[in-house]
Amino acid sequence: MKRFIVMIVMLGVSGAFFCQTKPGSAKVAPNGQSIPEGFENWRLIAPSMRSDNNTIRAVLGNDAAIEAARTGRTNPWPDGAIMAKLVWKARFHEAWATATIPGDFVHVEFMEKNSKRLAQTGGWGFSRWLGKELKPYGKDADFAKECFGCHTPRKSSDYVFTFPAVIP
């Protein structure tokens, strides 16, 4: 019996170890969006930089987004496409003075396309996850209005700022 209990405890401990999930993976944003699994392994759409807030960025896409980006079908983007914008504070490279590289991780933002379910916000679901802990941004579901407001001037480009980079 004792050996049986020890085995159960060991199984529990190893289970807890192997079932560790990504920070934030079980979290839900105030508008119901959650973090797409495996986004850190998505492929590149384009890097970018912003001098107004001194950040450097990379936009990645899930398979549907990459297929659309690389075949020029991005106006509109297809339902099912999700983009992840990873944002870091920009810093200078200590061994190359004119190079700017990622410093601290700031946040990751997602745009998920579903033209029917998300019609009220241009067919896109927005979410933002702060810091390495991926803490959901926004006090209530209205936070997505802030995202959508910023993206509205890009209506003629299906509300997306990112142009897929040329990748041979």
Backbone angles phi, psi at 88, to 5 degrees: -125, 150
Query: Does residue 101 belong to the site contacting its own copies (CB under 8 A)?
Result: yes
Q: How far is the CB of 34 from its own copies (least distance, A)?
A: 15
Q: How far is the CB of 48 from its own copies (least distance, A)?
A: 5
Closest CA to 46 of 35, 59, 36: 59
Site for its own copies in 122-161 (CB under 8 A): 131-134, 153-154, 161
Return the half-sphere exposure (C-beta side, CA atoms, 13 A cut-off) of residue 155: 6
User: Based on CB atoms, which residue is closest to its own copies, 12 or 38?
Assistant: 38
The interface region with its own copies, picked from 9-17, 72-80, 84-92, 114-122 by CB under 8 A, is 84-92
With b for 16 or more beta-carbon neighbours within 10 A and e for fewer, the 64-82 pattern comes to: bbbebbeeeebebbeeebb
Q: Which residues contact 90 (CB under 8 A, 6 or more apart)?
A: 49, 54, 55, 56, 100, 101, 102, 103
Site for its own copies in 22-81 (CB under 8 A): 22-24, 40-44, 46-52, 56-58, 60
Ranges of beta strands (E only) in 42-81 are 43-50, 55-61
Binding residue (CB under 8 A) for its own copies from 67, 102, 145, 148: 102
> Which parts of this chain interact with its own copies (CB under 8 A)?
22-24, 40-44, 46-52, 56-58, 60, 86, 88, 90, 93, 95-96, 98-102, 104-105, 108, 131-134, 153-154, 161-163, 165-168
